[in-house]
Structure 1
Amino acid sequence: MTAEDIYKHIKASQNGQDWHHKNCFGCGPENKRGLHASFPFHEPSGEVRFAWTIEKDFEGAPGFAHGGALATLLDEAQGVLCFHLGHFVMTDQLYMRYYKACPLGEELEVRCWVTMVRRRRLYTKGTVHLKKTGELLLSSKARWYDMPDRVFSRMFQGTAFPVDTILKVLEENQKRGKEIRKRLKKEKLRPE
């Protein structure tokens, strides 16, 4: 199969695990100590939304999640959101606000969305709610550096990472992101 044949079948990503490496701490299924979250893209809203349960491995105070594990969860979720919208990013700033301790073994609702795009910077927000009550446990704001393709290519040169394929996925994701932004602006459904 030629590269052209492969590229014909490339579609926009739906889960963080679709095109990320298997040992990623946030989404990698083969990382024994990782979070194992899938970070699915919710196309109607242009957000990453998913239910997730924090396991005992990420315990801080007895019976509650460690704040660093929760920061990692929202950092990764917001970064994957940027990828789903066609941007390969690196965290520039991450701001966390913890409202209540997050209990282990309880289902959480994670939601992340883009608030602004300016030149090579993206701005996102994320929240974690206790699913059974809807109570807000923590929120996050982040600023991202959108890496140029040449930097992305150079970073992974000489690795097994499929750079050309990922660049094509990002291209498809960018097209989808533009369509979503246009539709949401028209419908005025953008979250605050």
Structure 2
Amino acid sequence: MKNMSETSQKSSEELKTRTPKRQRGHDRVVILLEAAARIFARKGYDAATMTEIAAEANSSIGSLYQFFPTKPLLAEALHIDRLERLKVGLHHLAEQRPGLSAADSGEAIFDALGAFIEQYPEFPVLAGRRDIPKERKVRSRAELKELIGNVLRRAQPPISDDIALMSGIILELLRIAVVAGSEPDAAEDRRVVTELRLMLRRRLSEAASGA
């Protein structure tokens, strides 16, 4: 039993991404991640191959596997990087746009996400993966809800309703918008998103007025 446990632990450790210790290694990781972003955005997650990503990065497949032994680990590292960038953007939004109405705060959040996806078109692909670690998904959702809540807390007049509930509603609408935005032929879905945004404005206005 001990040998099996040691073997399992060793295998798990071997699957972890390698953390570069020198600047050259950090630079290589950035190049590999950006190459993966372009391939995922262009081909989707399932169709993308490690060979294509290495070629996009002008790197050998061995160098790619040195830092990212599997495609899920590569996608997870990229997804975490993009989530961190999104969280920074939401934090800046809360700091830079105080005093908006509740309805305008909701619009500002949607606009920020739209600009984010335009800059990082691979994000919907990464967010739609089936192999996202469950614990990380739960943690990321809680962090995003809190950041959205921080924007709503600065609304004027203040929201008198449950901000956690309002944050959850916005996050679900963002998820729907991401899915609709990733389907170029889904014109009807985009119309649905427009209607949902109008409903959100009314709901946030009600929450601010105490209706």
**Smaller-chain TM-score bracket:** under 0.3
Q: Which has the larger radius of gyration?
A: 2
Q: Give me the TM-score of the superposition, normalised by structure 1.
A: 0.24
Q: Give me the TM-score of the superposition, normalised by structure 2.
A: 0.22
